[in-house]
Amino acid sequence: MNGLEKHSAMATVNGLRTHYLRAGEGPPLFLLHGWPQTSHCWHRVIGPLAETHTVIAPDLRGYGRTDKPRDGYDKRTMAADIAALATHLGFDRVAVAGHDRGGRVAHRWALDRPDQVERLAVLDIIPTREMWRRLDSELGAGYWHWLFHLQPDLPELLAGQNIAAYLGYFFERWTYQRQGLRPEDVEEYVRAFSAPGALRAGFDDYRASFPADATDDDADFAAGNRLAMPLLALWGANGLTGKLPVLDIWREYAPAATGSAIPECGHFLPEEQPGEVVARLREFLMG
């Protein structure tokens, strides 16, 4: 098999059967997806990044082809899953890029295991703690799903009536380059979230944001824990995150943070502007 050709594999780590994609040779780079997606969201950037790195793109706990247990969706546990996968694969030090919910897992991974994460890129998010601190009427109108997904049972009941329509709402509203999410990509995500337990697991990911993740994040911030490793923040200039002072916010958590907006882009950076994402990640990883 060509080293740049991605292949699919399974590993049992942290008590979880975890699916991941792997391609390339070189320093390890982990790519963590968000909601409502799976590791498939990296399909346009894995190949180019695999030219210089060993790229590992797992399905997070509850997503895709990974197990969907009834608990463990706090970011500390989800980060421990991926840390265990890295160790299982023989990597002592890794770079990680996380998009959306995957960025929150990556942030927690870097906080809990700074000796394992040497570089961190976060795509189209601000820290979870800042989301709750800043959730006024304007931010709440854009991120209403955070509060909806917190509710027990109701999101599964309503979204489960038409999974394609519910996910499609976000794929349309959160994109600028709508052609970047091809029909076959959307079909893959709908297929993934139609699996037994998948909708519930995705909502449990959000349900863990409060109070579990908020409590952990508040404790770290109060203790003065900041990220010392290089951090790159990227966000879509035409998305909801682009309305926030993203870099200023991240520098409160990682003083040496760098980053910028990607023009003509909404929320789904790796699919809307894959060339820009690859170029900026390469520059960051080689810095």
Report all structural domains of the chain as residue ranges with CATH numbers, in order of start: 7-285 (3.40.50.1820)
Tell me how far apart the alpha carbons of residues 143 and 182 are, in angstroms, rounded to a whole number.
24
Is 92 one of the annotated active-site residues of the chain? no
Label the pairing between strands 258-262 and 54-58.
unpaired
**What DSSP string describes 99-157?**
ETHHHHHHHHHHHH-TTTEEEEEEES---HHHHHHT--HHHHHHSHHHHHHHSSSHHHH
Residue 2 has pLDDT above 60, yes or no: no
Query: Residue 245 corresponds to which tokens in the numbers above?
Result: 């002072």
Query: Does residue 205 contact residue 101 with C-beta atoms inside 8 Å?
Result: yes
DSSP code of residue 32? E
pTM as predicted:
0.98
- In tens, the pLDDT along 111-166 reads 999 999 999 999 999 999 999 999 999 899 999 999 999 999 999 999 999 999 99
The mean pLDDT of the chain is 97
Which of 109, 76, 115 shows the shortest CA–CA distance to 93? 115
pLDDT confidence bin for 1, thresholds 50/70/90? very low
pLDDT band at 13 (very low <50, low <70, confident <90, very high): very high
Q: Given 33, 53, 107, 267, which residue is catalytic?
A: 267
- pLDDT confidence band for 287 (50 / 70 / 90): confident
Catalytic-labelled residue, pool 59, 100, 124, 216: 100
**Percentage of residues in the chain with pLDDT exceeding 90?**
98
DSSP helix/strand/coil, 219: helix
**pLDDT per position as a tens digit, 206-227:** 999 999 999 999 999 999 999 9
Residue 79, Cα to own-chain centre: how many angstroms? Answer: 11
Q: Is 40 tagged catalytic?
A: no
pLDDT at 172: 97
In this structure, how many other beta carbons lie within 10 angstroms of the beta carbon of residue 269? 26
**pLDDT of 15-62, one tens digit each?**
999 999 999 999 999 999 999 999 999 999 999 999 999 999 999 999
* Residue bearing tokens 């699916």: 19
Label residue 3 by pLDDT band (50, 70, 90): low
Within 8 A by CB and 6+ apart from 44, the residues are 270, 271, 274
